[in-house]
């Protein structure tokens, strides 16, 4: 059993909880994820099964898309609705035009400072460990790319947005920063990941649905192949090179390869992700 699942993670579960549940449903240990979601966040969670787990690093690097609620007038110590209120200013009067203009300012590459209550590591410790001990530290910034922010709805203190961004972008911090830019405070309310690495929430399955499909021998309805989720050019190599390839050796290949990254197929199976040199190819990531 090898491939990728598009699981709809509910709120209240950790990413580890979801992986554990999938392991129990499929009755197999080799299950992992390609990107975590906080317990209070719902949405698309890319789950890798069998040989698919070897592709997790590649799948993590894709863009993400969220529907995010910004609550104006208050900031919290965790930058979301689960934290304690630290600042308050409910005396503001904003127009839709003002909000749209400020949202546009946040599009593009920028240095984002992660929240203290996060798993980002500093000197071997996670930031939330410092926060729980009331230790102040200088947090390192991280370059992120906000590809697009669209206003969906604005009503009183609530701003609903659709955001497309690079890996590692903190929606909580974005909400906090937008609130400040609007002349008040802000924190994240509801957050739903609607797309990750091309997998959309419309095509996701719940854990209950996964169990039903598994119990009725219908997993093929939701288990996607590796090359379906991560499509690359395929290079077919003569069977005689199989043993050399799987131990990392280069083999001669004179035909044109159009991509820097491609699948290598040998003995009628996909065996790895390859890279090329002048007149040879080799496996960079074994998928067996």
Catalytic residue among 38, 90, 239, 268: 38
196-212: pLDDT as tens digits: 988 999 999 999 999 99
- The closest of 163, 141, 139, 143 to 151, measured between CA atoms, is 163
Q: How many domains does the chain have?
A: 3
Mean pLDDT, the chain, rounded, equals 90
Between 50-54, 155-159, 253-257, the lowest mean confidence (pLDDT) is in 253-257
| 85 and 133 part of one domain | yes
Higher model confidence: residue 255 or residue 244? 244
pLDDT at residue 50, as a whole number: 94
Please write down the HEC assignment for all residues of the chain.
Answer: CCEEEEEEECCCCCHHHHHHHHHHHHCCCCEEECCCCCCCCEEEEEEEEHHHHHHHHHHHCCCEEEEEEEEECEEECCCECCCCEEEECCCCCCCHHHHHHHHHHCCEEEEECCCCCCCCEECCEEHHHHHHCCCCCCCCCEEEEEEEEEEEEEECCEEEEEEEECCCCCHHHHHHHHHHHCCCCEEEEEEEEEEECCEEHHHCECHHHHHHHHHCCCHHHCCECHHHHCCCEEEECCHHHHHHHHCCCCEECCCCCCCCCEEEEECCEEEEEEEECCCEEEEEEECC
The answer on 243 and 158 residing in a single domain is no
Q: pLDDT > 70: what percent of the chain? A: 91
The pLDDT tens digits for 22-60 are 999 999 999 999 988 989 999 999 999 999 999 998 888
Do residues 138 and 180 share a domain? yes
Count of Cβ atoms closer than 10 Å to residue 115 Cβ: 22
For the beta sheet containing 233-236, the strands, ordered from the edge strand earlier in sequence to the opposite edge, are: 233-236, 262-266, 269-276, 280-286, 251-252
Label residue 215 by pLDDT band (50, 70, 90): very high
Task: State the pLDDT at residue 278.
Answer: 75
Q: Mind listing the pLDDT tens digit for each residue in 110-137?
A: 998 776 555 556 556 665 565 566 656 5
Mean local confidence (pLDDT), 167-193: 94
Q: How many residues does the chain have?
A: 288
Does residue 125 share a domain with residue 95?
yes
Asked whether residue 108 falls in the same domain as residue 50, the answer is: no
Quick: pLDDT tens for 67-99: 999 999 999 999 999 999 999 998 888 999 999
Q: Are residues 175 and 267 in the same domain?
A: no
Between CA 219 and CA 223 the distance in angstroms is: 6
Q: How far is 219 from 28, CA to CA, in rounded Å? A: 14
Predicted confidence (pLDDT) at residue 157 exceeds the cutoff of 90: yes
Question: Taking residues 240-244, what's their average pLDDT?
Answer: 92
CATH code assigned at 16: 3.30.2350.10
Full residue range of the structural domain in which residue 31 is found = 3-62+198-227
Are the CB atoms for 3 and 28 separated by under 8 Å? no
Produce one character per residue of 225-236: b if its CB has 16 or more CB atoms within 10 Å, e if not. ebeebbebeebe
Residues 170 and 252 in one domain: no
Same domain for 89 and 169? yes
Note whether 218 and 129 are same-domain residues.
no
> What pLDDT is recorded for position 130?
53
Do residues 177 and 75 both lie within one domain? Answer: yes
128 with 244, same domain: the answer is no
Residues 183, 244, single domain; the answer is no
Is it the case that residue 260 has pLDDT exceeding 80?
A: yes
38 assigned to active site: yes
Q: Which of 192, 218, 245 is the last residue of a domain?
A: 192
């Amino acid at each position: 059993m090898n491939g990728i699942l598009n699981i709809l993670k509910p709120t209240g579960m950790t990413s580890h909880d979801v992986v554990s549940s999938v392991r129990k449903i499929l009755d197999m240990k080799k299950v992992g994820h390609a990107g975590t979601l906080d317990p209070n966040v719902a949405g698309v969670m890319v789950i890798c099964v069998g040989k698919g787990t070897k592709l997790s690093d590649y799948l993590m690097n894709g863009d993400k898309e969220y529907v995010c609620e910004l609550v104006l007038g208050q900031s919290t110590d965790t930058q979301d609705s689960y934290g304690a209120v630290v600042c308050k200013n409910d005396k503001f009067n904003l127009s839709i035009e003002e909000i749209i203009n400020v949202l546009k300012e946040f599009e593009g590459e920028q240095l984002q400072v992660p929240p203290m209550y996060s798993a980002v590591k500093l000197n071997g410790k996670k930031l939330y460990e410092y926060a729980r001990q009331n230790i102040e530290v200088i947090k390192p910034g991280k370059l992120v790319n906000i590809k697009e922010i669209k206003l969906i709805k604005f009503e009183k203190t609530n701003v609903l947005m659709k955001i497309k961004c690079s890996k590692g972008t903190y929606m909580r911090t974005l909400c906090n920063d937008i609130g400040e830019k609007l002349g008040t405070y802000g924190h994240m309310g509801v957050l739903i990941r609607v797309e990750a690495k091309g997998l959309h929430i419309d095509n996701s399955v719940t854990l209950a649905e996964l169990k039903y499909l598994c119990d009725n021998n219908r997993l093929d309805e939701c288990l996607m192949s590796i090359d379906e989720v991560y499509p690359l050019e395929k290079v077919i190599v003569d069977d005689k090179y199989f043993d050399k390839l799987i131990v990392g050796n280069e083999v001669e290949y004179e035909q044109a390869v159009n991509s820097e990254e491609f699948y290598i197929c040998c003995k009628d199976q996909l065996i790895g992700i390859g890279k090329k040199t002048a007149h040879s190819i080799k496996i960079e990531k074994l998928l067996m």
